[in-house]
Amino acid sequence: MNILKDIREGNDGSIVLGNHPGIVQSILDFDYISGKKEPSVMALVAGTRKAQKFFFGTQEFLLPCFKSVAAVPKSYDTRAKWMLNVQSGRRTLESTNAFFERFPAALGGHIFAENVPELHALELVERFGRTHVIAGPSGVGILVPGYLKLGAIGGVGLEQLEQGKLADPGAIAVVATSGGMTNELITSVVRAGKRVSFSLCIGGDRFPVTSLTDVLTMAEEDDATEGIVYFGELGGSDEYEIVALLKSGKLTKPIVCYVAGVIDEAFDEHMQFGHAKALVARADESARAKRDALAEAGAIAPETFTAFLKEIEKLPNSVARDTLVDIKSLMNRQKSILSTREVVDIEAVPAFVEGGKLVQQRENGFAASALEAMLGRDVSDKTAALVENIFELLLDHGGNVSGAVNTMITARAGKDMVSSLASGLLTVGPRFGGAVNEAARTWREGVASGKAAPNFVEEKTRGGNLLLGIGHLKYRVGIPDPRVAALAEFASILKKHPHYDFARAIESVTTGKNGNLILNVDGVVAALLLDMLQEEEGYSDAELQELIEAEFFNALFIIPRSVGFIAHFLEQKRNDEGLFRLPEELLFVRKDEKKTKKEMSRQREGLHGVISFRDGGL
């Protein structure tokens, strides 16, 4: 597998494990200035939110977030080839394993965290060291200019991306153990009038997943790479891998190396310099010893950093091109406070009358438009017809139901339409109208469980719990609710209707106990809509559950019933009967609380004495 060739030919995407907004935005900016048509970052696996705002160019967008790698949809499988892991060191092993188990065709990734436990790091090396390209732990990532940026490599600010000419592929490979020096070397290559072919930060922890040998072999086999720049440190034995490659003839391209840390010789004891492995444990791990070994093997290994930069200037040139995008247009971006979409295109005004004649509109137009606005997608004619029927049947249920009563009483108190409607809507809940959503939850749970209806009823009603969607005060077996009968016809136009079938199975159990425990209109609306969304609109089980958690199904009651409440409000305003007061004879007052006028007078006398104006009292 020539992984660099695959990167340059493909349109690979990445999944970010954890949340590091600065790094993620830098990758998106890299994508944009490289001329990509879509972001390479596909999703974040982090936190409890469902989306996070970022920019692609000047356009703000919402990047999907998932609670776990397992929750990432199957639709991501084809393009998700890279992992960016910015989680803590102790979570790295678990999350990395989870990613590659979920995406077995992935090519590799970058582990940002430092101080990954050594046993964890060794397991990562064992599992992925020979089969994947993984930068880190403890580094800045992988870069293939114009094609892939994975991590903070090349910088995170727009100016850094522009200065590093990251959109412009070149001929020099940059390899280092230090993250900071990787970025510095990229800048140094550009200042020397050259461009980077690819760069990989091995990582500063003691056990990097991908070895230096593997990275240099990639450079040797890469047709675009004509020279290599390497920065190392005292401690460890990475540089001896370069020595072995040069002596064996497996590395033939010119390589300029600098090994930092000669200052260690000025101390009485060896000092720890930053990274976990930047500590001399043996004589051959000193910076000077490794420089000498590199020079002897044929590498260009200057004594000073200034000389090192001069040698970079002598490496082969590549044809440079100008950056495709003027970054000035990206500098003053401001994130919005709220995220929304245009529910209705106000410029696409429907024509109902043309030339003095009515124009035929889409059937079930309001229901379709309302549903599409709530779901954020187009719906089929079957689904629109079902919702239109639901709207018509649930518009009103008489003036004696609690929501209508609240609306009318508020209207007669002289309040406005909004206050009266709000009063009625505030009555909606599990005992009135709000049962549609909980019925949907019940049917979804029942179908998913695979349990027989009697067992399900027994479990759900244990402890006196109610089954919402079952039961009616007025209708019963033999006297069915006509609304339920009308809606039930929609089951006949579906190929499968598992939720409706389960609801009917529950009804057969509950009516055996009480004739009033029939499938009510809330229950049938929930069941049929679940089946319709699944079959006609292609909703998955997880997507249906999301709608339930968002209380979508209650909207099918609230929308039409709001119209009914407004009708009752307007009727009260037309009648204008004045403030409503409940007649006293309709009140039930407990006898032990009801006191006669004489009893109340005696009580006052006992507490305060007799008050009499005639006797001169106050």
Q: Taking each helix axis from N to C terminus, what angle separates 118-128 and 92-102, rounded to the nearest 10 degrees?
A: 20
The last residue of one of the domains, among 533, 550, 567, is 550
The two three-digit tokens of residue 374, written as one number: 């709530």
Whether 540 maps to a domain, the answer reads yes
- Quote the CA–CA distance of 395 and 432 in Å, as a whole number: 14
Omega within 30 of 0 (cis) for the link into 208: no
Residues serving a catalytic function are 275
d(CA 578, CA 345): 43
Residue 299: pLDDT over 60: yes
By residue range, what is the domain housing residue 15?
3-318
Same domain assignment for residues 285 and 389: no
Using CA atoms, how far apart are residues 363 and 178, in angstroms rounded to an integer? Answer: 65
CA 4 to chain CA centroid, Å, is 30
**Tokens 């004879």 sit at which residue?**
585
User: In terms of domains, do 134 and 215 share one?
Assistant: yes
Structure tokens at 148: 């892939």
Q: In DSSP terms, which residues pair with 357 in a beta bridge?
A: 354
pLDDT value of position 344: 60
Does residue 475 contact residue 481 with C-beta atoms inside 8 Å? Answer: yes
| Residue 567 domain-assigned (yes or no) | no
Cβ(367)–Cβ(380) under 8 Å? Answer: no
pLDDT tens by residue, 354-409: 787 776 666 778 898 899 999 988 999 999 999 999 999 999 888 888 999 999 99
Per-residue pLDDT reduced to its tens digit, 231-243: 988 777 788 999 9
Q: Do both 173 and 70 map to the same domain?
A: yes
Helix (H) or strand (E) segment spanning residue 612: none
Q: What is the reported pLDDT for 320?
A: 63
User: Is a pLDDT exceeding 90 seen at residue 246?
Assistant: yes
Torsion of CA 79, 85, 87, 90, to 10 degrees: 120
Domain boundary among 301, 318, 335: 318
Residue pLDDT, tens place only, 426-476? 999 888 878 999 999 999 999 999 999 999 999 999 888 889 999 988 899
For the chain, how many residues are written? 618
Return the structure tokens found at 505.
């199975």
Q: What does the pLDDT read at residue 290?
A: 87
| Radius of gyration for the chain, computed over Cα atoms and rounded to the nearest angstrom | 36
Judgement on whether residues 46 and 117 belong to the same structural domain of the protein: yes
Choose among 337, 325, 333, 323: nearest CA to 58: 333
Query: Does residue 230 form part of some domain?
Result: yes
In tens, the pLDDT along 129-188 reads 999 999 999 999 999 999 999 999 999 999 999 899 999 999 999 999 888 899 999 999
For the cut 90, the answer to whether the pLDDT of residue 107 exceeds it is: yes
Considering the domain architecture, whether residues 265 and 140 belong to the same structural domain is answered as yes
DSSP type of residue 156: S
- pLDDT, the chain, mean: 88
Both 297 and 211 in a single domain? yes
Query: Does 585 reside within a domain?
Result: no
For 38-91, the pLDDT digits (tens) are 999 999 999 778 899 999 999 999 999 999 999 999 999 999 999 999 999 999
The number of domains in the chain is 2
- Return d(Cα 142, Cα 203) in angstroms, integer: 11
Residue 328: per-residue pLDDT: 84
Tell me the whole-structure pTM to 2 decimals.
0.74
Q: What is the pLDDT of residue 614?
A: 38
- Rounded to whole angstroms, how far apart are CA atoms 216 and 202? 11
Contact 43, 68 (CB under 8 A): no
Strand order in the sheet with 148-150: 148-150, 142-144, 196-201, 172-176, 227-233, 255-260
pLDDT score, position 597: 55
What does the pLDDT average to over 411-417? Answer: 95
Per-residue pLDDT reduced to its tens digit, 523-548: 999 999 999 999 999 999 999 999 99
Q: Residue 584: what pLDDT?
A: 83
Decide if pLDDT at 227 tops 50.
Answer: yes
Number of helices (H) and strands (E), helices first, in the chain?
22, 15
Which is more confidently placed, 41 or 323? Answer: 41
Among residues 488, 516, 550, the one where a domain terminates is: 550
Residues 312 and 374 in one domain: no
Residue 357 falls inside a structural domain: no
End-to-end CA distance of the chain: 106
- Indicate which CATH number applies to the domain containing 57: 3.40.50.261
Same domain, 236 and 377: no
Clarify whether residues 92 and 190 are in a common domain: yes
295 and 376 share a domain? Answer: no
- Asked if 308 and 378 sit in the same domain, the reply is no
Asked if residues 308 and 256 have their Cβ atoms less than 8 Å apart, the reply is yes
- pLDDT category of residue 277 using cuts at 50, 70 and 90: very low
Residue 616 is predicted with a pLDDT of 37
Asked whether residue 265 is assigned to any structural domain, the reply reads: yes
Considering the chain, what percentage of its residues have pLDDT values greater than 90? 70
The pLDDT assigned to 11 comes to: 85
d(CA 30, CA 280): 38
What is the distance between the alpha carbons of residues 52 and 453, in angstroms, rounded to a whole number?
42
d(CA 400, CA 608): 47
Structure tokens at 35: 């001329």
* Residue 323: band (very low, low, confident or very high) from pLDDT cuts 50, 70, 90: low
- What's residue 593's pLDDT? 52
Contact between residue 301 and residue 312 where contact means Cβ atoms under 8 Å apart: no
pLDDT of residue 535: 96
Domain membership of residue 581 (yes or no) is: no
Look at residue 335 and tell me if it is in a domain. Answer: no
- Find all residues with CB under 8 Å of 483, minimum gap 6, and list them: 393, 394, 521
- Indicate the pairing of strand 148-150 with strand 142-144: antiparallel
Q: Give the Cα separation of 279 and 270 in Å (integer).
A: 7
Q: Are residues 255 and 389 in the same domain?
A: no
